Amino acid sequence: MAQLQDIQNIFFLGVGGIGMSALARYYRHCGKNVGGYDRTPSALTKELEKEGIMITYDDDANVFNSRFSLFNSPEKTLVVRTPAVPADSIIYTYLRERGFEIHKRAEVLGMISREKKALCVAGTHGKTTTSTMIAHLMQSNAFLGGISMNYGTNLLLNKDSEYVTVEADEYDRSFHHLAPYISVVTSVDADHLDIYGTPEAYRDAFAHYTSLITGALVMKKGIALQPRLQTGVKCYTYSATGHADFYADNIRISDGQISFDYQMPDGMIENVRLGVPVWVNIENAVAAMAVAHLCGEKDDAIREAIASFRGVQRRFNIHVNTPKVVYIDDYAHHPDEIATSIDSVRRLYPSRKMIGVFQPHLYTRTRDFADGFVRVLSTLDECILLPIYPARELPIPGVTSDMLLGKIGRGTLIEKADLAKELKSRVEQSDKPVVIMTIGAGDIDRLVPEITEILGK
């Protein structure tokens, strides 16, 4: 890969992705000319444009030539792509055929991870919240997989910090490009079987990832992972409730607040209060606090930072909270993630009727984990499904939201345009208070403002 000082322009294929946008912002901060292509405008791409990043939404080589003439030099331009942009993209084909240096996002992030001590979070679930917690605790540089509610961005820069916090994405073996100093591994529940083929191959990719760690591994106790650690790398376990090297003890839930005593191998931090009082965040906080402790952060600073943590956009965000209805939006898109989210809601609002709205993400994931989705969605009092969000995929015959509903045996399929009014009607007709969750990793979040407005009334 060319040296950064020799590159004048960076062009991003898929610039609107959460990980890509953080890199775009970083290189803009470094003084480079930054531009990109994405399929559709979004709130995030609009923010990037406001920050001086030029974006096209036309997959057209002529548009690229006319609007991005400054970038049309292979010697001075680095192209960064995400697998979400298909191989037959016109702009991608144009750049490839003309000899531009093209690298995956993971390769570029791996290069950055070697410039500082990288604090990485890997796992099927919990990566974004845990990494954002670590960045907040450490006040580190950070490339995050979501928008931090504390800072309003997915890129944190601190020239005085020796650390960089990175979300270690396992898709397409991206995390094998990283150089972790300390890493958390939250879970290894099989996912992305379109890439890995089998659960065993998926777990083996995580085992290889652990061989890249140079400082310490912080691993959730009980997960099916046999790490391959370098000589001298220490391994610690953590748990939300059970005994481990790091765990939460004496958990208290009262008046919408969660607090606990934090047990460590060499001491205890008393009266830790979660800034975002969601049950699953106990586990995320235990892992993040372990990393901060291993990096030498003081107990009082850790306690204060966890209490001031405000969460991540689309990670269990409460948008409406009235006696009649609570409305929560969450990014969960794997059966185990959805089960954890539902469990957290049940614990917080045990007496309310629970209505879940799920937008399946990817045809392959829906096919591979259909039984898991059926199992967890069946625990809802009322289930509403939206059509599958395809992202990078073409339809698979027989794999539809109707297929899931047929297996569940009840529920409703609704188009996005009709959802807000349907939810309003169900709240009005309910004989008891309701909690509503919108769940999914597609574009269901674009419905949040309308749903919030109509339910808030």
What CATH number is associated with residue 337? 3.90.190.20
Backbone angles phi, psi at 266, to 5 degrees: -120, 25
Contact assessment for residue 225 and residue 235, using Cβ atoms and an 8 Å cutoff: no
304 and 322, same structural domain? no
pLDDT in tens, 164-208: 999 999 988 989 999 999 999 999 988 888 889 999 999 999 999
Nearest alpha carbon to residue 281 among 144, 128, 122, 124: 128
Instruction: List the structure tokens of 205.
Output: 């990719």
19 and 94, same structural domain? yes
Residue 153's pLDDT band (cuts 50, 70, 90): very high
Kindly compute the dihedral angle of the four CA atoms of residues 167, 168, 173, 178, in this order, to the nearest 10 degrees: 110
Q: What is the pLDDT of residue 230?
A: 97
Residue 109 lies in a domain: no
Q: What is the pLDDT of residue 191?
A: 85
Q: What is the DSSP string of 114-175?
A: TTSEEEEEESSSSHHHHHHHHHHHHT-EEE-SS-BTTTSSSEE--TT-SEEEEEE--GGGGG
Residue 430 lies in a domain: yes
pLDDT in tens, 40-83: 898 899 999 999 999 999 999 999 999 998 888 898 999 999 88
141 and 60, same structural domain? no
Mean pLDDT of 303-324: 92
359 and 289, same structural domain? no
Contact assessment for residue 109 and residue 99, using Cβ atoms and an 8 Å cutoff: no
348 and 293, same structural domain? no
Contact assessment for residue 353 and residue 435, using Cβ atoms and an 8 Å cutoff: yes
Contact assessment for residue 37 and residue 14, using Cβ atoms and an 8 Å cutoff: yes
pLDDT in tens, 2-19: 566 678 999 999 999 888
CATH number for position 248? 3.40.1190.10
Backbone angles phi, psi at 373, to 5 degrees: -60, -45
Distance CA 246, CA 265 (A): 7
Residue 108 lies in a domain: no
266 and 348, same structural domain? no
Instruction: List the structure tokens of 191.
Output: 């996912």
Q: What is the pLDDT of residue 2?
A: 58
128 and 91, same structural domain? no
Evaluated on CA atoms 375, 380, 382, 385, the torsion sign reads: negative
Instruction: List the structure tokens of 266.
Output: 């060499």
31 and 13, same structural domain? yes
146 and 12, same structural domain? no
- pLDDT at 412 exceeding the cut of 80: yes
Residue 404 lies in a domain: yes
- pLDDT at 448 exceeding the cut of 90: yes
Residue 403 lies in a domain: yes
- pLDDT at 273 exceeding the cut of 80: yes
Decide which of 266, 289, 308 is a domain's last residue: 308
Residue keyed to tokens 């991005």: 68
Q: What is the pLDDT of residue 4?
A: 63
Decide which of 308, 343, 367 is a domain's last residue: 308
160 and 24, same structural domain? no
Helix or strand (DSSP H, E) at 104? strand 101-104
Q: What is the pLDDT of residue 1?
A: 63
Residue 261 lies in a domain: yes
Residue 127 lies in a domain: yes
pLDDT in tens, 209-263: 999 999 999 999 999 999 999 999 999 999 998 899 999 999 998 766 899 999 9
Report the first-to-last Cα separation within the chain, whole angstroms. Answer: 54
Mean pLDDT of the chain: 93
HSE-CB of 124 using CA atoms within 13 angstroms? 22
pLDDT in tens, 92-130: 999 999 999 999 998 999 988 999 999 999 998 889 999
Neighbour order of strands in the sheet with 101-104: 54-56, 33-37, 9-13, 77-81, 101-104
Helix or strand (DSSP H, E) at 315? none
Distance CA 53, CA 427 (A): 42
Nearest alpha carbon to residue 434 among 451, 449, 418, 412: 451
Number of domains comprising the chain: 3
| Owning domain of residue 179 | 114-308
CATH number for position 14? 3.40.50.720
Contact assessment for residue 134 and residue 291, using Cβ atoms and an 8 Å cutoff: yes
335 and 270, same structural domain? no
29 and 163, same structural domain? no
Q: How many CB atoms lie within 10 A of CB 254?
A: 8
Decide which of 56, 84, 103 is a domain's last residue: 103
DSSP 8-state assignment for residue 80: E
